[in-house]
Structure 1
Amino acid sequence: MAIRLIISFSIFLFAIFSFATVGRSSDAIDFQRDIAPIFEEHCSYCHGKDEQESGLRLDRRVSLLRGGDYGQPAVVPGKVDKSYLIDVVTHSDPGMEMPPDEERLPDEKISLLKRWIEQGAQWPGQMDQVVEEELNHWSFQPLREHFAQDSVDGFLRERLTAADLSLSEPADPRALIRRVSIVLTGLAPTPQRTAAFIDEYDREPGRAYTELVEELLGSPHFGERWAQHWLDVIRWAETNGSESNLYRKNAWMYRDYVVQSFNEDKPYDQFVREQLAGDLSASGEATGFLVAGPHVPSATVGAEPSARRQARADRMDEILQTVGASVMGMTVGCARCHNHKFDPISIQDYYAMSAVFQDVEFGSRFPELPPSDPRVIRQRELKSQLDHQRQSLRNAGGAWLEDWTGYQEVHFPTRRVERLRIAFASRNVFADELEIIETAGNDNASSRNVALASLGTTIVENPATINQGMSAMNLVNNAFGAKEFKATAPPDSLERPWVEFHFPKSVSIDRIRISSNREDYLETDFVEGLHRIQYGEFRLETRDESGQWKPFASTSAIKKRVQEDQELQAAMETIDTIISAMQTEGPQPAFVARFIDPVNTFVLSRGSPESPRDQVFAAAPSRFDGELAVPPDAPGPARRRAFADWLVHPRNPLTARVIANRVWHHVFGSGIVATPSDFGEAGAEPTHPELLDWLAKGMIDSGWSTKQLIRRLVLSKSFRQSSLPHETGLARDGSAQLLWRFPPRRVEAEVIRDSILQASGSLDVSIGGPSYRIHNVKKRYAQWEVIDNHGRETWRRMLYQERMRRVDDQIFTAFDFPDCGQIKAKRPVSTTPLQALNLMNSDFVVTQSELLAQRATAEAGEQLADQVVRCFELLLCRVPTRAERKIATEFAQEQGLELLCRTLINTNEMAYLP
C-alpha cells in the first residue's frame, strides 16, 4: 500500500513537472512554427519576394524593421505599441485593414504576433541584417579632394577629345559682348558700349574682355538678373495664390534683399543662413524665403479644426518644398505621406525637418533691421518729431485721435485708473484687438499693454449684447483677423455694447489702440473695403467716487474739437504728416513670415493631420548625418539656425554641388546636371561629374563667392567660343552637352522687354522699391485684372513688375514667364503664334516702337536711310547689310519707321543669345 502511494505521488510530481515544462516551452515563440505560417497564409501574396504592395516585404526581417512606403516600422522589437503590423491586423487604422477584403485575423494569431514582437521578433538566420543600406548615389558622396584638371576648359577638352571633338573658334566680339552682357545683367549692350568694346577688342582682346566682365559683375543690374533666377526656384510672388489670391503686403522687401545680396556678393553660406534665420542677425527681410510659396489664408480655410490642421500641414509642406528644391536639390515633399520612393529620405525625416520650421507661419511682421539701416535711422528721426508733438498736445490738456490706417489710437493726459470702460455708441460693434497702453516710465512699465488677461486684468462686457463665441476676451488674444469681438444690441433696445477692464491694481495709462481688422493692415493691400472702422464712435469712462461711470474722452467730441480749434487742427495735420512718413519711409510690415510658438511635431500617417503617430524632433535627414545637436524643446530660431549650419557645412555633399550647377545652368543654358533641383535617383546624371565637384569645392574655398564662380565660367574659352554649328558636332552631340560650341538659346521674357525699353531710351533703371502696378484694385474674392502694362509708370525692369500668381500679364507670360505656382529651376522654352502677335500688336510694343522711331529720327537726322540704320543699331547693336538697308528703307517709306521697329523686335536676332 505504501509502495503504491509513493509511486502514485511520484507520477503526480512528474506530471506536474512535465506540464510546467510544456507550459514554459509554449510561451517561447518559434518563428518557423508560429509566425512563418501566418505570413505565408495571409501576407506573402502581396508582400513577398515577387510583389511588395506599398513597398512592404515580409519575407525579410530587415524589411519589417524598415517598414513600407508609409514609413512606420512594421515591427519594433520589444514594442508592440510601436509596431505598425499590429495596427493593421487589428484593424485599428481605418483604411489600412489587413489582410484586405478578409475578416480580421483570429485573436490567437494576433496574440502570437504580439508575443513574437515582445520577445524581440527573433528570426533565425536574419538577426545580423542591418536596416540601413549604403548611399551609393553619386550626389550623396563626399566632394572629391583631388582633380586631374585645373580649369573649366581642361575638364571640357578631356571629354571632347574622347568624343573626337574640340572647342569651336572664338566668337566675334559683337556676339561676345551681347552674350556676356545678357548672361550677367539681363540687358543687351548699348550701341555705344558695343562699338567701344569692339574697338578695344581689336587691339587687346584679353584685356578688353576681362575689363568688360568686371564692369558687368560690378553693375547694379547684375543683382537684378541673378535675383530673378533665385526667385524662379522658390516660386516667389506677391499674392498667396489661393481662391482669394490676396496681395502680400510689402513682399517686395525680400526681392530687394536678394538683389542686394547678389550685388554685394554675399557669401552663399551666409545667404542661406540669413534666409532661414535672418531674424537672429538683423536681416529680417531675408526670411521672406520661408514663405515664398503659395498658401491658403486662414480666412479662406474657415473655422473647422480639421480643415485648419490640414491647411497648417500644407503650409509646412510649402516651406519644405522651397528649402528642398532651392538649397538641397532634393524633392523633399515626396516623403510627406510615405518614405521617398527613390532617395534616402524617410517620412520620419520629413516630419523631423518640419519640426525645424514649426515656429514659422505665413504672414507679415516688421522685419529685424540693423541700427544702420536707413529706414531705422529715419524712424528714429520721425519718432522724435512725433513725441515732441504729442507732448505739446498732452501739456495743453484734452484728448486727440491718431489714425494709423490699420488701427486708431486715442491719446489723453496720463490717468491713473483701476477700471476702464469702453462704451460704444453703435448698436453693432466689430473689432479684432484692443490695447490699453501703460505710460512709459512708470514702475514695471515700458509702454506695455495692460489689457492682457495674463497680467491679471479681468474683462467684462455688457451681458445684453454678447455674441456667443465672439466675446470681449477676443479683444486681447493677440490674434489679428482670427477670433474677433462682436457685440449686437437687441432690436428696439436702449442697450449699447460696452467692455470693462478691471486691473489688479491701479495703473497709469495715456492711450488706447483699437482696430477692426489689423491682419489686413499688416498683410494685404489693393482690396476694396480695407481698413473699415466697424466699431463706430466710442467713449472712455472711469468710475468716480460715487461709483458712477464718467467719460473723460470721446471720439466724437475729439473730432468736433478739432473742427472748431484751428491750432489743434494744425497740430493734428502735422501729426498726420509724420505718421504718413513713418509708414512709407520707416520700417514697414512685410510679408516675410511671422513667428509663433512651436508645437510638438508628430509623424502624420499617410500625411494626414488626423493620424498623428510618433513624436519627432528637429533634425535634418538621418542618412546625411542630420543630427542638429539642439535640445528637443529648443526655440524655433535656434532650430532654424542649426539646420542652416548643417545645410552649408562643407561636409554636406549637396549644397555646394547644387549652387555650382545652378550657376552653370544660367551661364551655359543647361546644367551639368540637367535637373537643377533634383539631384536624387530620379534626377539626371551629371555630364561632367568631376568638373562639378571641382567647381563646388572651388566655391567653398573662395569663401562661397558666387561672383568668383561666375567669373571663372565666363572667362573660360568654352564660354567665349562661337555658337555656330558644324556637321561633325551636330552628328556626335546635337544638343552640345559636351560644349563643342556655345549653345545658343532664346532669351527670357524679361530680357526681351527690358531691352526694348532700353533701346527706346525709356527704361527707368532705378534699383529696388515697391513693384510697379499693372493690376486693378479688386474685391476680396475677385480676380486680378491687368489694367495698364504699357504706361510710363511701368517702364522699369520687369523684375519690378507686380508678381501676381495665376494671372496672365497679357504680353510676356506668352514667353514662358512662370506664374510662380510651381518651382521653375529651369524655364521651358516654347514657340507659339501668340508670341509674335504680342511682339507686333501689344500696346507696349506699339508705344515703344513709336518712341524708338522718335529717338532714331532725333539722333540720325532727316534722311530716312540714316534713321533706318539707327533703328538697327538701337535694337540689334549693328548696322544693316547693304541689302538689309535697301529693303528696310523701302519698307519704312511705305509702312513707316514705327512698323520697321516692330518688325525688328520680332526677329530671332533680338530674341536669341548668340
Structure 2
Amino acid sequence: VTVGCARCHNHKFDPVSIQDYYSMTAVFQDIEFGSRHPEFSEDHPLRKRGKELWQRIQTQRDKLRDAGGWEENWGAYRELHFPAVTTTAVRIRFKTPNLGLDELEVLGPHGLNRNLADAREGTEVTGFPEEGTDGRNPIERINDGEYGTMAWRTKLDAKKEERPWVEFQFQGPQTVNRLRLSNNREYFYDTDYLNKKPYLPKYQFDMDIMKEDETWQSWAGTWAVNSKLLKNNAERKQTIANIQGLIDQLSEEGPQPSFVGRFVEPVVTHVLLRGSPESPHDEVMPAAPEIFDGDLGLDSSASGPERRREFAKWLTSPEHPLTARVMVNRVWHHVFGSGIVPTTSDFGRAGAPPTHPELLEWLADEFVSPADADNPAWSVKSLLRMLVMSDAFRQSSLPNEEGLKRDAGSALLWRFPPRRVEAEVIRDSILMASGTLDLQIGGRSYRIHNEKATYAQWEVINNHGKETWRRMLYQERMRRVDDQIFTAFDFPDCGQVRAKRPVSTTPLQALNLMNSDFVLEQSDLIAERALRESNDELELAVDRCFELLLDRSSTEAERTACMNIARDGELALVCRALINSNELAFLP
C-alpha cells in the first residue's frame, strides 16, 4: 500500500496514520544519502584494477619519501605528504586571506583514511577567525566529518597582515604524515556532467607541529614541497607527474564513490506536524504500520542494524498479508504486461481489484511454500519458471470475435495479451539488425547530452553516433532529457520511481521511427548488410531484411511490393517501413 500521503496527515484512503509513517522512517533512521566508497568483493574487476593502480602509486611514492614531501591533486581534494612525525598538536597557517574548506583532515600511516583531526576522535579545534564569515561559517565545520556546502569560510582584509590559521589538539600523541583539504568534496564526485568542475584552489600554507616542550616547530608547507624541493631535485618532477597520471587513471578505472545510502548513528524520531522539520511533536518508536501488526518491540535506543533486521523479519514472514501477494503480482506484471492487480504499487482502497483473486492467493501461497530443494520458498526463479511454462503464457495472441466482444483488453487471459516492447528493445533490435550493436558488458555508460554549466538546461547533442551504439541499458540519462526519438515510446523520466511504464500510441512514434537521424542511418546500414550477405542479389536482400528485422522470411505479396521499391535503389526505405511495423514493436 502507499504510505507517502501519511507524511503530512493520516492517509485519506487506507488505515495508515501519520504515526505509522514516522515509525517506518525510524526503522531507517541510521541511513542517509551521500557519497560513499563502494564495497566490492576481492575478485571484482574494479577492485582488482584499483588495487593494481594503488600498488603502482605506492611504488612511485616510495621514491619521494626520503627526500621531503609532495602534493597530490585528487580532484575532490588535495593531499600534502610530508615526513612522518609524532605530535600532540598541529597548526596550519594559511597565506591567503580567503578560504572555503568543508574539511581539513590530518592522517597518519596507521589507518590510511582515519581522520585524526575529526571531532569524533576527541580532537579540539581552534583558529582564526573562529566564527568564519559574518558568523555563519564557524571553524567547527572543518573537522565535523561532513563534506559538502557546510564549510568554514574566511574573508579577511588582504591589506592587513592577519591570515587564517587552524590548530588541532589531539587527545594524545599521534603519528601524522599527510594533510587532506577539500571545499565541497561531495559536489565534485556528484557533478561529472558539468563543463566546469568544482575544484579546490591551490591554497598555500605552512604546517607546524608541537614539540615535547610545547613549543612549535615548522615541519612542512606547500611552498617547500612545490617550489624549493622541485628546484633542488628536478628528477622529482617526473615522479610526481607519474603519480598524478596514475591518480587520474584510478579515477577512471578503479572503484569510484557513489551517491548512495550511507550509515550514520540513528537519532530519536518524532512525528513532524504537516511534514515540517520545524514542527517535531511526539516521539515514535521504530515500527511498521499498526494495521499489519507492525510492532517490532523496539525503542529509540535500538541500533540501526537491529531496527532493519527486525523490520526485515516482519516483512518476510510467510504470514505477512502483503509481501508475497505484491511480489507475485509484480512478477506477473512483467511476464504478462499487466498485474493480476493492475495497480501494481497500490493494493489499498484506491487501487484496482484483482482480476483473478483466487489465482493471486494461490500464487502467493506457492511462492512462500517450499516444494523441494530445487524450488525453495521465496524463489523468484521458480515463480518465473512456473509462469512462463503455463498455458496462459504459451497461448497465441491471435484474437477472435467472441473474445474481443467480451474482454477486448484481454484482462481475463483468453489469449496472450498484446504487448508493445519497451523503448530499449526497439532501439537495440534495430542496432542488432544492422550488426552494429556493441555487446560489451560493463564499463562506462555513454552520453547523449552535453556537459553544461551548473544551472543551464540539458541539450541532446548526439543520440545516433557510433559511440552510442551500445545497449540502451548503458545510456546515461538525465532527468527531464528528451532524446527526441525513444522518449516518445514512454521511456521513463529518470527523476521518477514508477511501478510500471505507461503505454501510449502517438503520431510522434511513427515520425521518429521514419525520419530520425538514428533510423535513417541504421536503415542504410541494414540495407548494406542485407545486400552484402546476399551477394548483391536484390530479391534475396529483400528477404534478408525481413529476417534481420522481423526474424522471418517475407511472403510472396510482401516480396513483390518491396521489390518495386528496392529496384529504384530504395532498399533502405524498405527497412524503414519494416522498422515502423507493429510486428517489430509488439511481442508476437
Instruction: Give the structure 2 partner of residue 335 of structure 1.
Output: 6
Question: Take 2:381 and 2:578, find their aligned partners in 1: how far apart are those partners?
Answer: 34
Choose which of 713, 717, 737 in structure 1 pairs with 2:411: 737
Question: Take 2:533 and 2:193, find their aligned partners in 1: how far apart are those partners?
Answer: 42
Instruction: Give the structure 1 partner of residue 373 of structure 2.
Output: none
- Matched letter for residue 11 of structure 2: H
Instruction: Give the structure 2 partner of residue 450 of structure 1.
Output: 116
Give the CA deviation at 1:546: 11
Instruction: Give the structure 2 partner of residue 724 of structure 1.
Output: 398
- Matched letter for residue 9 of structure 2: H
- Where do residues 171-250 of structure 1 align in structure 2 (5 Å cutoff)? none
- Matched letter for residue 776 of structure 1: N
- Higher RCO (C-alpha under 8 Å, 6+ residues apart): 1
- Where do residues 412-561 of structure 1 align in structure 2 (5 Å cutoff)? 412-440=82-110, 448-463=114-129, 466-467=132-133, 468-503=135-170, 505-534=172-201, 536-542=203-209, 551-560=218-227, 561=229
TM-score of the pair, normalised by structure 2: 0.92
The structure richer in strand per residue is 2
Q: Contact 1:856–1:867 at 8 Å: present in 2 too?
A: yes
2:377 pairs with 1:709: no
User: Aligned in 2, Cα 1:646/1:873: closer, same or farther, shift over 3 Å?
Assistant: same
User: Aligned in 2, Cα 1:796/1:464: closer, same or farther, shift over 3 Å?
Assistant: closer
Give the CA deviation at 1:625: 1.7
Identity %: 55
TM-score of the pair, normalised by structure 1: 0.60
| CA deviation profile, 1:306-362 (whole Å, cap 9, x unmatched) | xxxxxxxxxxxxxxxxxxxxxxxx111122233223323222111111111122222
User: Aligned in 2, Cα 1:654/1:455: closer, same or farther, shift over 3 Å?
Assistant: closer
User: Aligned in 2, Cα 1:900/1:571: closer, same or farther, shift over 3 Å?
Assistant: same
Instruction: Give the structure 2 partner of residue 360 of structure 1.
Output: 31
Asked which structure has the greater CA Rg, the reply is 1
Choose which of 859, 876, 879 in structure 1 pairs with 2:533: 859
Give the CA deviation at 1:862: 1.5
Instruction: Give the structure 2 partner of residue 408 of structure 1.
Output: 78
Question: Take 2:404 and 2:129, find their aligned partners in 1: how far apart are those partners?
Answer: 84
Question: Take 1:838 and 1:366, find their aligned partners in 2: how far apart are those partners?
Answer: 41
SS of corresponding position for 1:434: strand
- Matched letter for residue 355 of structure 1: A
Choose which of 407, 424, 433 in structure 2 pairs with 1:750: 424
Instruction: Give the structure 2 partner of residue 111 of structure 1.
Output: none
Choose which of 886, 890, 894 in structure 1 pairs with 2:568: 894
SS of corresponding position for 2:82: strand
Give the CA deviation at 1:418: 4.1
Q: Contact 1:353–1:621 at 8 Å: present in 2 too?
A: yes
Question: Take 1:349 and 1:483, find their aligned partners in 2: how far apart are those partners?
Answer: 32
- Matched letter for residue 428 of structure 1: N
Question: Take 1:545 and 1:614, find their aligned partners in 2: how far apart are those partners?
Answer: 52
- Where do residues 314-353 of structure 1 align in structure 2 (5 Å cutoff)? 330-353=1-24
- Matched letter for residue 330 of structure 2: R
Give the CA deviation at 1:510: 0.9
Question: Take 1:405 and 1:411, find their aligned partners in 2: how far apart are those partners?
Answer: 16
Question: Take 2:268 and 2:89, find their aligned partners in 1: how far apart are those partners?
Answer: 39
Question: Take 1:660 and 1:835, find their aligned partners in 2: how far apart are those partners?
Answer: 32
Question: Take 1:709 and 1:813, find their aligned partners in 2: how far apart are those partners?
Answer: 32
Question: Take 1:554 and 1:446, find their aligned partners in 2: how far apart are those partners?
Answer: 21
Give the CA deviation at 1:612: 2.8
Question: Take 1:841 and 1:642, find their aligned partners in 2: how far apart are those partners?
Answer: 56
Q: What CA RMSD, in Å, does the superposition of the two structures yield over aligned residues?
A: 2.5
Give the CA deviation at 1:788: 1.0
User: Aligned in 2, Cα 1:656/1:379: closer, same or farther, shift over 3 Å?
Assistant: same
Q: Contact 1:424–1:535 at 8 Å: present in 2 too?
A: no
2:449 pairs with 1:775: yes
User: Aligned in 2, Cα 1:462/1:682: closer, same or farther, shift over 3 Å?
Assistant: closer
User: Aligned in 2, Cα 1:730/1:458: closer, same or farther, shift over 3 Å?
Assistant: closer
SS of corresponding position for 1:508: strand
- Where do residues 596-635 of structure 1 align in structure 2 (5 Å cutoff)? 596-635=264-303
Question: Take 1:749 and 1:735, find their aligned partners in 2: how far apart are those partners?
Answer: 22
Give the CA deviation at 1:831: 1.5
Q: Contact 2:268–2:300 at 8 Å: present in 1 too?
A: no
Instruction: Give the structure 2 partner of residue 76 of structure 1.
Output: none
Q: Unaligned regions of 5+ residues in structure 2, if any?
A: 371-375
Question: Take 1:380 and 1:475, find their aligned partners in 2: how far apart are those partners?
Answer: 30
Q: Which sits farther off after the overlay, 870-879 or 895-904?
A: 895-904
Q: Contact 1:431–1:534 at 8 Å: present in 2 too?
A: no
The number of aligned residues is 580
The structure richer in helix per residue is 1
User: Aligned in 2, Cα 1:900/1:505: closer, same or farther, shift over 3 Å?
Assistant: same
Instruction: Give the structure 2 partner of residue 649 of structure 1.
Output: 317
Q: Contact 1:435–1:476 at 8 Å: present in 2 too?
A: yes
Give the CA deviation at 1:765: 1.7
Give the CA deviation at 1:377: 4.1
Instruction: Give the structure 1 partner of residue 480 of structure 2.
Output: 806
| CA deviation profile, 1:748-777 (whole Å, cap 9, x unmatched) | 211111110111111112233432111111
User: Aligned in 2, Cα 1:686/1:546: closer, same or farther, shift over 3 Å?
Assistant: closer
Give the CA deviation at 1:665: 1.4
- Matched letter for residue 579 of structure 1: I
SS of corresponding position for 1:875: helix
Instruction: Give the structure 2 partner of residue 831 of structure 1.
Output: 505
Q: Contact 2:104–2:143 at 8 Å: present in 1 too?
A: yes
- Where do residues 116-155 of structure 1 align in structure 2 (5 Å cutoff)? none
Q: Contact 2:75–2:199 at 8 Å: present in 1 too?
A: no
- Matched letter for residue 431 of structure 1: L
User: Aligned in 2, Cα 1:464/1:438: closer, same or farther, shift over 3 Å?
Assistant: closer
2:244 pairs with 1:583: no
User: Aligned in 2, Cα 1:501/1:347: closer, same or farther, shift over 3 Å?
Assistant: closer
